[in-house]
Amino acid sequence: MDSVQTVIQILLMSGSGSGSGSGVWVFKNGVMQLQPEQPAAARKALLYVPTGERMTSLELLERRLGAHGWERYYENRDIVQLHRRDGGIDLISLPRDFAQFRSTHMYDVVLKNRDSFKVVDVPS
């Protein structure tokens, strides 16, 4: 990791203003700036490592996670939460609308399934 530039993604929840308040905090040379988050599909993709397959839908991602012991725990009209069948305390929250799938969701999946998924740059 480059010591000059460290990127930390933080999902901000803002109670005021018309914007969502989401973005990426970039720390560069001691200066912190909030850069608005763009749709993840435009620049990042979640890759299922064993097959090299990009996750393009909630159904496909759920199927792959199911093979690793994840199952639906809770759902409403906006989100789907998955938990491990073995009773672990980890939860993965995903937007039901895959167009709202952001890099924060991708890194959550990767963090809890390190050997099976990774986030990759999408060539422009």
pTM comes to 0.65
Distances (CA, A) of 83 to 11, 29, 110: 21, 39, 14
Chain centroid to Cα 119, Å, comes to 9
Each residue of 36-85: pLDDT tens digit? 765 544 589 999 999 999 999 999 999 999 999 999 998 888 999 999 99
Q: How far apart are CA 73 and CA 92, in angstroms?
A: 9
More confident residue, 17 or 24: 24
Q: Where are the alpha helices (DSSP H) in 1-124?
A: 58-66, 103-112
Note every long-range contact of 3-8, with CB atoms under 8 Å and residues 24 or more positions apart, other chains counting: 4/28, 4/29, 5/29
